[in-house]
Structure 1
Amino acid sequence: MQFNADTLDAWLAHLEQLHPNAIDMGLERVARVRDAMQLKPTFPVIIVGGTNGKGSTCAMLSAAYCAAGFKVGTYTSPHLLRYNERVAINLEPVADAGIVSSLRAVEAARGVDSLTYFEFGTLAAMHQFIAEEVDVAVLEVGLGGRLDAVNVFEPDVAAVVSIDVDHQAFLGDTREAIGYEKAGIFRAGKPAFCADANPPESLLAQAAKIGADLQLIGRDFSFSNETTQWRWRGKHGQKPGLPFPALRGAYQLGNASLVIAILDALHDRVPVSVGDIKRGLVEVELAGRYQVLPGRPSIVLDVAHNPHAASALAHNLLNQGFFQTTHAVFGALADKDIAGVVAQLKDRIDVWHVANLDWPRAAPAEQVAGLIAELGAVRVHVYPDVAAAFTAARSTAGENDRIAAFGCFKVVADMLALRPR
């Protein structure tokens, strides 16, 4: 008997218990339902993968296409406050009714195939984009690439932003193993991009094996920081005088360089002018990526949840300016390299406020605090939740101090729910 409900909350509750595993790597079930739904996009599809930087890249791509007047569908994950954030058209989350209609379409077509939460949502997002007749779709890989549900759709352009060790239980515990999985989104004869300055041999080999048109940062496209502006170089020329992205962090120039390379590759089908690129870079928004809230003390929100992202956060904290004391509001998932994250940031944090997270995979705060203490931190405190941790940090931080909330999406989501000022 098919499930039916009128509210998005009811549908999401249904999806959470539909499949026995939260993650079930493989494309066979998803492909069968895709075919049953006849999901055949006629618009260009861009697939973006990578360990970190996927969200920023998707946000800048979508902002540029919107600035150029195209109707763009963007599918990302996870969300921070509302599921609707995952499925956006022209940068605006799709309303509940639209998402529910697409979830109904998936349910009607899936037959005996059980789908995970992410698989169900991926098919529903594409159904919504086709129904809305978007001009271009930007799809963010959920996990890995080769066996991720997003990869059931044929990309016109595929990009890998970065490669580092994460999700080892599913992707392997080396950059070479992970690089192979991420290269699985490349297609024969199609533009494929990698913005990692040191791409694994496995990624290069897979691209060569299938005959993808692989373009690498530093070789086929590049950027140079010119103090008050920056310059992009690619196969077909240069774009000087570009504004810095509204998203903070020096690493965003690498992401923006990748974005322009992708826009360049699809220019014949969805042309974006230099002026539209500039506007997209200036107007792009993305919560939780080195997001600095106004007021004092300074409050920084970042979804950094692995050592690679934590290293970037540490660099940004160093460059933000002088603060007498930096407080951390921190929580982590048990399957992450918590020690690696803490090691990257321990020299930037003076006081740790460790929170328990209301999340199935969360590591107990006492355990996390013990690990932080073992790595040399002296001022480490434990709290029942993020709200209590932030309240404690806020009550002790002076106007010239800083509070950095990071560790996973759940920490940032809880902070945004508090709407700290």
Structure 2
Amino acid sequence: MSLSEFLAKKSEFYSKIDPFVAFRIFEKYQKYFKIPPIIHIVGTNGKGSTGRFLAQLLEILGYEVGHYSSPHLFEFRERFYLKKGIVDEDLLEKTHQKLSLILQKDLEKLSYFEYATFLAALLFEKCDFVIFEAGLGGEYDATSVFKKRLSIFTQIDYDHEQFLGNTLEKIARTKLKTMAKKALISTNQNESILKMAQKIALLKGAKLCILKDLSSDLLENLEPYKAKFKLPLFLENNLKLALKACEILLSKSQTIKALQNLTSLNLRGRLEKLKENLYIDVGHNVLAARALCEYFKDEKIEIVYNGFLDKKIFEILKILKPISARIMVFKCENEVRALANEQIFEFCKELNIECEEFKRLDEGKKTLVFGSFVLVEKFLKDYGA
């Protein structure tokens, strides 16, 4: 069975997950997976950009790096970054066939994400550094089956409560319990999360670095990069995390050298400027809305929006209100997860935000397309951006 035929049988979204499938499969077949210990990135927001920044820094220094992230915008292969770009279809197909031979009938037991995770493990087995981004939570995530070289914790907040728990403490615990013997955490956290991280580090005997800020010489070299690429604050924070991780893995002098040669973030949809007045962002939760509000503060912009119904739509709209000249609802459907669509109109009326259905772009007005990977994907396909 080809890769495309196999993926067509799988859904990206699940209402119920067996958290132990990946662990059972790995225990049975682990002798076939020979990747080096992974750099494991866990958190609510910022995993993709932190991982890609780190991959680019390590590549500058001559290392071969594999970066596994999710979800994708257009094609499944976007999840696998290798040799400074997205893997080609032939290599992915060959690796799929190899994985099929290893797992045989057990292949069908894997979810879409679990399958992609094991595929990444085969793809990256010859890399010097392997970066895996957790998909959902951490403790029982498929990426957690592999040995870890370093754990990186980005900002942790409410998300996927139906799977991870309805309190910040429960959500944080399942993520922080993945901690490796070496770990790095952003200080851009609730104080209770930092205390929990320190407690878990003590129990595990882990060396935990809490990143308050970079050293003065790294900060000095960061300034021209920030200015050149007009880096928003949330991407600056993620780059700082990647720089500190690079320093932990290698050295400060090598990290400075990499930073001095770093190009723009090679990852789509992270407050990406498509043209003079058009931005896209794949963010979909409260944290992302706050970050965008910070970037566009003191401005009024058009916002093309839609989001999954299981997200905090009302709260997101409330956060966006200070920067919203108008909300334009980009209507779209998903076979598995319902989108808010009509509910956005009701919430906007309650919040006294001008709202209408999206019909076309006004190129004379600054516009942000925001709300989910599904929305951004459909928008880009429809408008050829």
TM over 0.5: yes
Partner of 1:211: 205
Partner of 1:202: 196
Amino acid in the other structure paired with 1:241: N
SS at match of 1:104: helix
What is the CA–CA distance in structure 1 between the aligned matches of 2:24 and 2:8, rounded to whole Å? 23
Write the deviation string for residues 86-125 of structure 1: whole angstroms up to 9, x where unpaired.
0110231112222222223333333447110000010011
Amino acid in the other structure paired with 1:210: K
8 A Cα contact 1:327 1:393, kept in partner: no
Which runs of at least 4 in structure 1 moved beyond 6 Å after TM superposition? none
Matched, 1:191 2:183: yes
Matched, 1:330 2:305: yes
Partner of 1:228: none
Partner of 2:140: 147
Q: CA, structure 1 residues 238+288, in 2 after alignment: closer, same or farther (shift >3 Å)?
A: closer
Partner of 1:15: 10
CA shift, 1:317, in A, is 1.4
CA shift, 1:23, in A, is 5.4
8 A Cα contact 2:37 2:147, kept in partner: no
Matched, 1:344 2:319: yes
Amino acid in the other structure paired with 2:329: V
Q: CA, structure 1 residues 41+194, in 2 after alignment: closer, same or farther (shift >3 Å)?
A: farther
What is the CA–CA distance in structure 2 between the aligned matches of 1:398 and 1:93, rounded to whole Å? 31
Matched, 1:285 2:266: yes
8 A Cα contact 2:38 2:148, kept in partner: yes
Q: CA, structure 1 residues 166+124, in 2 after alignment: closer, same or farther (shift >3 Å)?
A: same
Give the alignment partner of residue 257 of structure 2, picking from 259, 266, 275: 275
Partner of 1:405: 369
What is the CA–CA distance in structure 2 between the aligned matches of 1:263 and 1:162, rounded to whole Å? 18
SS at match of 1:293: strand
What is the CA–CA distance in structure 1 between the aligned matches of 2:260 and 2:218, rounded to whole Å? 14
Give the alignment partner of residue 287 of structure 2, picking from 295, 308, 323: 308
Partner of 1:353: 328
Partner of 2:111: 116
What is the CA–CA distance in structure 2 between the aligned matches of 1:89 and 1:409, rounded to whole Å? 22
Q: 1:103-252, aligned counterparts within 5 Å?
A: 103-110=96-103, 111-112=105-106, 114-130=109-125, 133-187=126-180, 189-199=181-191, 200=193, 201-218=195-212, 222-223=213-214, 232=215, 240-242=220-222, 243-245=224-226, 246=229, 248-252=231-235
Amino acid in the other structure paired with 2:285: N
Amino acid in the other structure paired with 1:217: L
Partner of 1:318: 297
Partner of 1:254: 237
Write the deviation string for residues 260-295 of structure 1: whole angstroms up to 9, x where unpaired.
111111117x99442222322x33222111111223
What is the CA–CA distance in structure 2 between the aligned matches of 1:294 and 1:408, rounded to whole Å? 20
- TM-score calculated relative to the size of structure 1: 0.82
RMSD: 2.5
8 A Cα contact 2:22 2:142, kept in partner: no
Amino acid in the other structure paired with 1:258: L
Write the deviation string for residues 351-407 of structure 1: whole angstroms up to 9, x where unpaired.
111122231213241122212221221x2113xxxxxx2xx241xx362x2111101
Name the structure, 1 or 2, with higher relative contact order (CA <8 Å, separation 6+).
Answer: 2
8 A Cα contact 1:165 1:178, kept in partner: yes
Tell me, which stretches of 5 or more residues in structure 1 are unaligned? 224-231, 383-388
Write the deviation string for residues 299-327 of structure 1: whole angstroms up to 9, x where unpaired.
110112111110001111126xx5xx622
What is the CA–CA distance in structure 2 between the aligned matches of 1:88 and 1:292, rounded to whole Å? 22
8 A Cα contact 1:30 1:115, kept in partner: no
Partner of 1:80: 73
- TM-score calculated relative to the size of structure 2: 0.90
8 A Cα contact 1:27 1:152, kept in partner: no
8 A Cα contact 2:221 2:259, kept in partner: no
Partner of 2:342: 366
Q: CA, structure 1 residues 23+417, in 2 after alignment: closer, same or farther (shift >3 Å)?
A: farther
What is the CA–CA distance in structure 2 between the aligned matches of 1:34 and 1:94, rounded to whole Å? 27
SS at match of 2:356: strand
Partner of 2:29: 36
Number of residue pairs aligned between Structure 1 and Structure 2: 377
Q: CA, structure 1 residues 183+364, in 2 after alignment: closer, same or farther (shift >3 Å)?
A: closer
Identity %: 25
What is the CA–CA distance in structure 1 between the aligned matches of 2:230 and 2:382, rounded to whole Å? 22
8 A Cα contact 1:51 1:161, kept in partner: yes
What is the CA–CA distance in structure 1 between the aligned matches of 2:315 and 2:77, rounded to whole Å? 32
8 A Cα contact 1:29 1:115, kept in partner: yes
SS at match of 1:241: helix
Greater per-residue helix proportion: 2
Amino acid in the other structure paired with 1:255: N
What is the CA–CA distance in structure 2 between the aligned matches of 1:261 and 1:34, rounded to whole Å? 33
